[in-house]
């Protein structure tokens, strides 16, 4: 089509200015033709007779007069079975296939189909000829690993249709026609198992958007217990370099109780993605018995890959997340780092010579950030099932200072804030989430009152610690000193978690509840029998030792039980005799309950504790 051609007029970094004499659409895809190469680009601004394109590739070699081909299509991804387990670049080029075809390097100007064309899927139709369907309705299913993948009516078919034809159960590739729909005017639409959808447009048809109330268990104690995340919720992890954002996301991607995890490695190190790519196929997900990779999709546009594609990569990721959500699944999207995405927009904005906002970020930064996080949510679908997209994004603030545009704009829209601190990571207190600064608006798994109490204890303990720096230890009362030790103990044995210890790395929900209640009880106790600070410190060190050993003991093992007993005995030495803990531990006969049924025991522990605590929590300020 000669009509859809333009010519390069100017080149500046990854932006190309193009003269045209045809219809050009904002955000449509165009190709800059450089000799044999076709460089994929996106129209980002149109002014009269010229368009500015951001090129998703190195612009080296482009010259004035080079031809540009406009496609009329918005930047889109291909949706269908075969996405799971794949590793894509920001534009959904499959990296395994790229490596096979082009070797060690990401060669310029190449694109490959996102979904495997030759794989046969066992298609099971769920509609009959003559039924009426509309966009998003399920036509049939295929098993994608353990996931029942719904083959849906393409989302851009906007009317109501009659199923004119549907294939019988059998094996089909994604390019085989599996159904034909007919609209009211008699037009027919032959369908395959895949279709395209523009990445910057949210998939937003469902019956109802629900409040994110169900916790998404990450098996990271400080998160689940104190700063929980909900299915369909949003959270952000800002922190200076090296504070542990990526490691935290890596652990989450392994341990979170989601059906599908999408990792968007956006403008960060390639090496970090490699760890996931190489390890996930080897790690067996204990819940399914299959490799973790089967529930994972990696979108990776690492820092040395073309900057413009970095922006696209987060949209690609969230679009895939929404697609699986439409099947009634819980999807977790982890984006590392949203700052790199914001910087990509800053680079573009600078080259377009737009009026810069704070720190040269574009003035519309906030709108884009909130638009992205708003694509999370828990929804009820037409068939009554629910699905969710949870979004967690890291932020890399310049100079580690949270008073900067990206952090501030993000904090306005997310439900949970995990503030990573340099002080904590320097002192190797991992995960380095600063409990005094972080917050969560979601409910979580621990009684809100207890959570509150612990938060107060941590604050108090911190204040005493600061005070001690001013007035010295000798000027601090024994009571205050014990409160300080209590906060410190909870921090060292509960909030800190060793990601490299086989057992400690992931704490299941019931174990968290159990250990939390146990600690809560100890910390709630009155240690009037400790005679001085020296003794208190020794005792605290001893308890810490016991709990650290407990943390790496298998849940329900004999060792676990032995250490628990040990803790009980030590505590009784110093705690007022009638302590709730001893009653808790005495009343539940540990040997059988722990091993047999953690659920039953938990329930029991809970009720016992409830009685005690309700009796005590009335005069709450007794910290």
Ligand X SMILES: Nc1ncnc2c1ncn2[C@@H]1O[C@H](COP(=O)(O)OP(=O)(O)OP(=O)(O)O)[C@@H](O)[C@H]1O
Spatial distance between the Cα atoms of 578 and 526, rounded to a whole number of angstroms: 10
We find the least distance from the C-beta atom of residue 72 to ligand X, in angstroms, to be: 39
Of the candidate residues 212, 244, 328, 444, the single one contacting ligand X (CB under 6 A): 244
Q: Which residues of 61-96 are buried (b: 16+ CB within 10 A; e: fewer)?
A: ebeeebebebeeebbbbbbbbbbbbbbbbbbbbbbe
Cβ proximity to ligand X, 327 vs 333, nearer residue: 333
- Residue 246 found at the interface with Mg ion (CB under 5 A): yes
- Residue 243 found at the interface with ligand X (CB under 6 A): yes
Spatial distance between the Cα atoms of 81 and 344, rounded to a whole number of angstroms: 31
DSSP sequence for 542-600: HHHHHHHHHHTSPTTSHHHHHHHHHHHHHHHHHS-TT-HHHHHHHHS-HHHHHHH-HHH
Residue 360 contact, options Mg ion, ligand X, other proteins, none, Cβ 5-8 Å cut-off depending on partner type: other proteins
Instruction: Give the binding range for ligand X (CB under 6 A) out of 66-74, 103-111, 199-207, 242-250.
Output: 242-250
Question: Edge to edge, what strands does the sheet with 121-125 contain?
Answer: 147-152, 138-144, 121-125, 170-172
Taking CB under 6 A as the criterion, which residues in 176-235 touch ligand X? none
Residue 431 contact, options ligand X, other proteins, Mg ion, none, Cβ 5-8 Å cut-off depending on partner type: ligand X
- Residue 276 found at the interface with Mg ion (CB under 5 A): no
List CB contacts of 496: < 8 A, sequence separation 6 or more: 429, 430, 431
- Residue 545 found at the interface with other proteins (CB under 8 A): yes
- Residue 428 found at the interface with other proteins (CB under 8 A): yes
Could you give the string, one character per residue 133-172, with x where binding to other proteins holds by CB under 8 A and - elsewhere?
A: ----------------------------------------
End-to-end C-alpha distance for the chain, whole angstroms: 77
Spatial distance between the Cα atoms of 49 and 24, rounded to a whole number of angstroms: 10
We find the least distance from the C-beta atom of residue 395 to Mg ion, in angstroms, to be: 11
Spatial distance between the Cα atoms of 46 and 51, rounded to a whole number of angstroms: 4
We find the least distance from the C-beta atom of residue 314 to other proteins, in angstroms, to be: 16
Residue 239 contact, options other proteins, ligand X, Mg ion, none, Cβ 5-8 Å cut-off depending on partner type: ligand X
Q: Are 71 and 30 in contact (CB under 8 A)?
A: yes
We find the least distance from the C-beta atom of residue 190 to ligand X, in angstroms, to be: 47
- Residue 458 found at the interface with other proteins (CB under 8 A): no
We find the least distance from the C-beta atom of residue 342 to ligand X, in angstroms, to be: 14
Please report which residue ranges of 13-90 form alpha helices under DSSP H. none
Cβ proximity to other proteins, 552 vs 588, nearer residue: 552
Taking CB under 6 A as the criterion, which residues in 417-436 touch ligand X? 430-431
Taking CB under 8 A as the criterion, which residues in 244-273 touch other proteins? 267, 269-271, 273
Could you give the string, one character per residue 31-70, with x where binding to other proteins holds by CB under 8 A and - elsewhere?
A: ---------------------------xxxxxxxx-----
Report whether the peptide linkage leading into residue 337 is cis, meaning its omega lies within 30 degrees of zero.
yes
Q: Which two tokens stand for residue 46?
A: 């149109």
Could you give the string, one character per residue 471-490, with x where binding to other proteins holds by CB under 8 A and - elsewhere?
A: -xxx----------------
Spatial distance between the Cα atoms of 611 and 320, rounded to a whole number of angstroms: 47
Cβ proximity to Mg ion, 341 vs 560, nearer residue: 341
Supply the DSSP symbol for 211. Answer: P
Would you tell me which residues interact with ligand X (CB under 6 A)? 239, 241-247, 268, 396, 430-431, 499
Would you tell me which residues interact with Mg ion (CB under 5 A)? 245-246
């Amino acid at each position: 089509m000669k009509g859809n051609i333009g010519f390069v007029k100017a080149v500046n970094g990854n932006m190309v200015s193009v003269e045209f004499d045809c219809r050009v659409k904002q955000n449509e895809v165009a190709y800059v033709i450089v000799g044999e190469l076709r460089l994929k680009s996106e129209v980002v601004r149109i002014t009269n007779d010229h368009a500015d394109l951001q090129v998703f590739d190195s612009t080296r070699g482009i010259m004035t007069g080079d031809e540009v081909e406009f496609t009329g299509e918005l930047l889109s991804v291909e949706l269908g079975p075969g996405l799971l387990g794949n590793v894509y670049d920001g534009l959904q080029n499959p990296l395994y296939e790229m490596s096979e075809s082009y070797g060690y390097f990401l060669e310029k100007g190449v694109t490959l189909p996102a979904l495997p064309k030759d794989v046969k899927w066992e298609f099971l139709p769920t509609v009959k000829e003559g039924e009426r369907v509309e966009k998003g309705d399920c036509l049939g299913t295929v098993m994608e690993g353990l996931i029942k993948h719904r083959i849906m009516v393409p989302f851009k078919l906007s009317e109501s249709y009659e199923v004119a034809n549907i294939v019988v159960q059998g094996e089909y590739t994604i390019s085989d026609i599996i159904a034909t729909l007919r609209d009211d005017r008699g037009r027919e639409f032959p369908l395959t198992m895949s279709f395209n959808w523009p990445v910057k447009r949210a998939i937003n048809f469902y019956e109802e958007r629900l409040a994110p109330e169900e916790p998404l268990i990450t098996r990271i104690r400080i998160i689940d217990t104190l700063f929980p995340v909900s299915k369909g919720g949003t959270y952000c992890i800002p922190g200076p370099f090296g504070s542990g954002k990526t490691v935290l996301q890596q652990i989450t991607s392994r341990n979170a109780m989601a059906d599908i995890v999408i990792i968007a490695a956006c403008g960060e190190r390639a090496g970090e993605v490699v760890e996931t790519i190489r390890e996930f196929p080897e790690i067996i997900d204990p819940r399914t018995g299959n490799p973790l990779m089967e529930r994972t999709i990696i979108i990776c546009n690492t820092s040395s890959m073309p900057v413009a594609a970095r922006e696209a990569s987060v949209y690609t990721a969230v679009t895939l997340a929404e697609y699986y959500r439409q099947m009634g699944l819980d999807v977790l999207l982890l984006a590392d780092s949203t700052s790199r995405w914001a910087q990509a927009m800053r680079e573009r904005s600078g080259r377009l010579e737009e009026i810069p906002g704070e720190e040269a970020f574009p003035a519309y930064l906030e709108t884009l950030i909130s638009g992205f996080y708003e694509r999370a949510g828990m929804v009820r679908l037409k068939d009554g099932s629910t699905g969710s997209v949870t979004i967690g994004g890291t932020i890399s603030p310049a100079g580690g200072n949270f008073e900067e545009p990206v952090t501030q704009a993000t904090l306005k829209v997310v439900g949970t804030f995990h503030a990573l601190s340099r002080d904590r990571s320097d002192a190797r207190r991992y995960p380095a989430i600063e409990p005094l600064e972080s917050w969560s608006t979601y409910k979580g798994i621990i009684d809100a009152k207890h959570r509150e109490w612990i938060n107060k204890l941590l604050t108090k303990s911190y204040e005493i610690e600061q005070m001690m720096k001013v007035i010295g230890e000798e000027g601090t009362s024994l009571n205050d000193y014990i409160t300080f030790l209590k906060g410190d103990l909870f921090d060292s044995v509960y909030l800190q978690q060793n990601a490299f210890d086989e057992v400690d790395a992931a704490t299941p929900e019931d174990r968290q509840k159990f250990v939390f209640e146990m600690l809560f009880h100890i910390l709630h106790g009155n240690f009037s029998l400790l005679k001085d600070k020296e003794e208190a410190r020794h005792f605290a060190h001893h308890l810490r030792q016991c709990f650290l050993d407990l943390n790496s003991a298998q849940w329900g093992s004999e060792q676990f039980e032995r250490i628990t007993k040990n803790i009980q005995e030590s505590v009784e030495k110093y705690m007022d005799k009638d302590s709730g803990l001893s009653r808790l531990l005495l009343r539940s006969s540990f040997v059988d309950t722990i091993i047999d049924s953690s659920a039953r025991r938990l329930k029991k522990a809970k009720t016992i504790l409830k009685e005690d605590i309700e009796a005590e929590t009335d005069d709450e300020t007794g910290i």
